[in-house]
Structure formats: structure tokens, C-alpha cells
Amino acid sequence: MKLTNTTRAVALGLALIAGTAAFAQAPAEHMQGSIRYVTGGIGKDESDAMKAMESNYSLSLTFAVQRDGKAEYLANVPVTIRDGKGNTVFSLDNDGPYLLVALPAGSYDVSASHGGQVKSHHVTVGSGHADRVTFDWS
């Protein structure tokens, strides 16, 4: 089968549309000072897009609660990240069950709260090293 220039153009256009539709599922990147972040992950398409973006960020956070023996993802979780000196470098009421943050290399204390219960994790991020943390309330 010989493809004409028109057929090629239509095929290319459809491929671009399909790629744009898949890309459109990714939440927008935001800035807080000099720190890039993405929050979201509600629904399968957005969740898959967030997981695919993980390698572009030095810290990946997930929020869940245990109900009836099953993990349920949480949204609207307040998050605070402090540097080694105790200074708040990032603070956000997280929109989704995933939060990706591009922090400079260093040590940080990350705290999140749900239902009046605060959980904290100490993380160390480095250049080329991503850290993953799951906040799980039982």
C-alpha cells in the first residue's frame, strides 16, 4: 500500500491529537518561590500521568488512609517541608493523592496532616536521587 502525502498528513495529525489528549491528562506544574511542583492524581489517567512525571522531581509524596482493610487515596492534605535549619521551604494544601516536588539536594523534614493527626518523615534528596514517601493514616 502506497501512502500519499495527504494520507501521511492525516496520520501525523491523528498521532499528534492522540498524543495531545494523553498529555492533557497531566496536571499543570506550579511554582512556589523557586520550587517546582505538581499536585493531583485523581482518576486513572491523571494518576498514570503523575507516575510518568515522577522522574522529573526529587521528591514524590503519596497520601492514603486505611478504611475497611483497603488503602484509599487522600486529597486536600496540608503539607509542610522544612530544611535542615527548620525553615519552611514549601507549604501547600495538596490537591490530590500525589505531590511531586523539585527540591534542591539536601535533608528535609516533611509533615502532613489528616483528621487532626500529623505524620512526619525525614528525607534526603540529591542530584539524580529521587525520594519516595507514602503518608498512610490507619
Domain with 64, as residue range(s), is: 28-137
Residue 9 is assigned to a structural domain of this protein: no
| 22 in any annotated domain | no
Number of domains observed in the structure of the chain? 1
Would you report the helix, strand and coil content of the chain in percent, each value rounded to 5? 25, 50, 30
CA–CA distance, 91 with 79 (Å, rounded to integer): 6
Q: What is the average pLDDT across 11-36? A: 65
Helix (H) or strand (E) holding 117: strand 117-125
pLDDT, average across residues 37-48: 92
Residue 124 lies in a domain: yes
Using alpha carbons, list the distances in angstroms from residue 109 to 47, 72, 137: 25, 24, 18
- Would residue 19 count as lying in a domain? no
Q: Which pLDDT tens digit goes with each residue over 98-132?
A: 999 999 999 999 999 999 999 999 999 987 767 89
Q: What is the CATH number of the domain that holds 96?
A: 2.60.40.10
Question: Using CA atoms, how far apart are residues 94 and 111, in angstroms rounded to an integer?
Answer: 12
Q: What are the grid coordinates assigned to 58, written together?
A: 526529587
- For 63-91, the pLDDT digits (tens) are 999 888 888 999 999 999 999 999 999 99
